[in-house]
Structure 1
Amino acid sequence: MRVMVKFSFSADAGNSAIRAGKLEKVFQQLTEDLKPEAAYFHAENGDRGGFFIVNMAESSQIADTAERLFFGLNARIELVPVMNADDLRKGLSGVQETIRRYG
């Protein structure tokens, strides 16, 4: 299942991680381990942040993914299941039956 792993961490924590060389190391390790199909970074409410789009084979991977960001950057995270356009088309292919049964 595709999951958007949204994360943010304080500017102070980010500054310390950059000075120590930890930020680059953590993001490199996350990229190698999670193999995201996309990775984006941004500022949000004065914090550093971003998100990865990753594929998870099973829900138990949530804990391991979260802990990487908790321990690596003391980050706040949010995990959201997401679809690409092909997934949406596939999901909507049965909508007429759903409408017939529930609409």
Structure 2
Amino acid sequence: MRMLMQIKIPHEPFNTAVRKGTAGETLRRILDEIKPEAVYFSEYEGQRGAMLIVDVAEPSKVPALAEPWFLSFNANVEFHLVMSLDDLGKAGIDAIGKKWG
């Protein structure tokens, strides 16, 4: 199942990792392990943030995606189901609308 991971990284311990020169290496290790379909970095509520598209085969895989962020950066991680336009087309949204509208 395709999911959007929203990650909010607090200033500490990330600032310390930047000063030590280890932030990039840690980010690379996490991303190499998670293997997201896509990743984007941005500001998130005044803090560093990232948005990843990941494939979650089953719920038991969620900790392996979130824990590296928790343990490395004390980050907050949220998961949101997402779908493509093709996925939405398969949902039968028009028939649902007729039934419930």
TM-score by length of 2: 0.86
Partner of 1:97: 95
Structure 2 distance, partners of 1:44, 1:63, is 22
Which residue of the partner structure matches residue 48 of structure 1? 48
d(CA) in 2 for partners of 1:50, 1:73: 12
CA distance in 1, matches of 2:52, 2:34: 9
Q: In the alignment, does 2:66 pair up with 1:66?
A: yes
Aligned residue number for residue 8 of structure 2: 8
- Aligned partners of 1:86 and 1:100: how far apart in 2? 20
CA distance in 2, matches of 1:48, 1:99: 39
Identity %: 34
Is the Cα–Cα contact under 8 Å of residues 2 and 55 in structure 1 kept in the other structure?
Answer: yes
Quote the RMSD (CA, aligned, Å): 1.6
- 8 Å CA contact 1:3–1:55 kept in 2: the answer is yes
* 4+ long deviations beyond 6 Å: none
Structure 1-normalised TM-score? 0.84
The alpha-carbon distance between structure 1 residues 98 and 85, as it changes in their structure 2 partners (threshold 3 A), is closer
For residue 59 of structure 2, give the secondary structure of its aligned residue in structure 1: coil
